[in-house]
Amino acid sequence: MLGTHFIELPVAMPPMLPGMVGVNNTQYFALYYQGSKATWSNGRAMATFSYYAVYAPLIEHITLAIHLKSYNLGSDDELPEHAILCDTVRHKMYVGAYKEIDYFLLQQHPHEPSQLTAQEFEEAVKAVESMTLEQMQRLGMFEMFGNTNPQARLATTELVQWLDQQITEELIQQYIQLANRGNWTAIMALDTLKRRISEAKEHQQQSENN
């Protein structure tokens, strides 16, 4: 069923990712950046989610950054030409052309109505009205008004820790070789990793001193 032009990423889909972006009851969904917001869609619905708590830690992580470098997932100045496709059943991630992935996502709802019924609309409104500020912040809806809450920061930490477990010596060597050749993505990814390690060591020393 998958499009022939989708490239499988060498890292499995983080198991906590669907919950962090707010996706449920769908096998496939896409991630990209549009309208100055990190966005997910599943062919029938779409919504924004936290850039700083989820999107940036994912695409900028050393396990993925170099593999996404040549793709345009969207920016403040450009519409996305590509998107990340997530498979919640096989726990895989792919990257491909935005239009092809968008069309592919539509196919997972071939027999479902394209519009909400009156009852579904009413239920959707009630669901939004019942959400607390904390829940909305977790989904990134009010991200511009402040930092993510402690619960969201914990979820981000779990995401990054899961991705960290996918780092291999071979991957590090690949980044070092690319950085030595002047590859800016590799240089920045290694610098970020170095800074995180330094901060972790400093935090550990402070804990031991206390």
For 44-81, the DSSP string reads S-EEEE-IIIIIHHHHTSTTTHHHHTTS----SSS--S
Does residue 107 lie within any of the structural domains? yes
pLDDT band at 3, cuts 50/70/90? low
In the chain, the number of structural domains is 1
Check whether 94 has a pLDDT greater than 80.
yes
Contacts of residue 203, Cβ cutoff 8 Å, sequence gap at least 6? none
| β-sheet with 37-41: strand ranges across | 7-8, 92-97, 82-87, 28-34, 37-41, 46-49
Average pLDDT of 70-79? Answer: 95
Does residue 209 lie within any of the structural domains? no
Average pLDDT of 71-82? Answer: 96
Does residue 133 lie within any of the structural domains? no
For 87, phi then psi, to 5°, come to -110, 110
Closest CA to 203 of 148, 155, 157, 169: 157
Comparison of pLDDT for 174 and 137, the residue scoring more: 174
Average pLDDT of 91-109? Answer: 92
Does residue 113 lie within any of the structural domains? yes
pLDDT band at 122, cuts 50/70/90? very low
Comparison of pLDDT for 200 and 60, the residue scoring more: 60
State residue 143's pLDDT score. Answer: 40
Average pLDDT of 67-96? Answer: 96
Enter the DSSP assignment of 114.
S
Check whether 111 has a pLDDT greater than 50.
yes
HSE-up (13 A, CA, CB side) for residue 163 = 24
Does residue 190 lie within any of the structural domains? no
Contact (Cβ atoms closer than 8 angstroms) between residue 37 and residue 73: no
Does residue 194 lie within any of the structural domains? no
Domain interval for residue 27 = 7-121+147-167
Comparison of pLDDT for 187 and 65, the residue scoring more: 65
Q: What one-letter code names the amino acid at 118?
A: A
Does residue 181 lie within any of the structural domains? no
Q: What one-letter code names the amino acid at 139?
A: L
State residue 110's pLDDT score. Answer: 64
- CA-CA distances (angstroms) from residue 56 to 39, 100, 156? 12, 23, 10
Check whether 113 has a pLDDT greater than 80.
no
Does residue 27 lie within any of the structural domains? yes
Check whether 129 has a pLDDT greater than 90.
no
State residue 161's pLDDT score. Answer: 83
Q: What spatial distance separates the first Cα and last Cα of the chain, rounded to whole Å?
A: 56
